[in-house]
Amino acid sequence: MRTVAFKDLAGLVGQEIGLTDWVVVTQAQVNGFAEATGDHQWIHVDVERATRELGAPIAHGFLTLSLLPMLTAQTLRIEGVSRGINYGLNKVRFTNVVPIGARVRLRERLLSADEKSGGLQIVRECVIELEGQERPALIAEWITVIYS
């Protein structure tokens, strides 16, 4: 994990700021996500049918997106931050399916860091890679406002 002081964060713009370890996506995660969101589509939760028709059940795209907070916590620690607020996302693309049992990791790059509302608005390019695949599972720009 990389550590940077709040005041020095802007100096990382344009750089890769982190790469996480591989994390396995499990059927238990998918089932819990289905319960939380009401999305019980068979491609996610019917293990027998999804295995027969698709080779394996696949994770929800929004579950893959929801891994970002856990994964970004492994890439960068910003010293001197009192709080952070999610501001939104740009250009979210689900570019590959994530079969149950697949291993994913995050590659993160800082795109910008600009003053906003008494804080610093940062935009991170977040690419969730799939082990053994050229095409990532997800590419998104995540916007956060952080305060010292």
Indicate the CATH number of 2-147 among 1.20.1600.10, 3.30.540.10, 3.10.129.10, 3.40.50.620.
3.10.129.10
pLDDT, position 136: 98
What Å distances lie between residue 36 and 28, 40, 134, 137, CA to CA? 12, 10, 31, 22
* pLDDT value at 1 more than 90: no
- Tens of pLDDT, residues 72-106: 999 989 999 999 999 999 999 999 999 999 999 99
Mean pLDDT of 95-120: 95
Residues 6+ apart with CB under 8 A from 124: 17, 72, 108, 109, 110, 111, 141, 142, 144
Q: How far apart are CA 37 and CA 58, in angstroms?
A: 16
Confidence bin at 117 (pLDDT 50/70/90): confident
Query: What's the whole-model pTM score?
Result: 0.91
Mean pLDDT of 13-32: 96
Residues 6+ apart with CB under 8 A from 62: 33, 37, 39
Positive or negative CA dihedral for 121, 37, 76, 17?
negative
Q: Where do the domains of the chain lie? A: 2-147
Residue type, 117: S
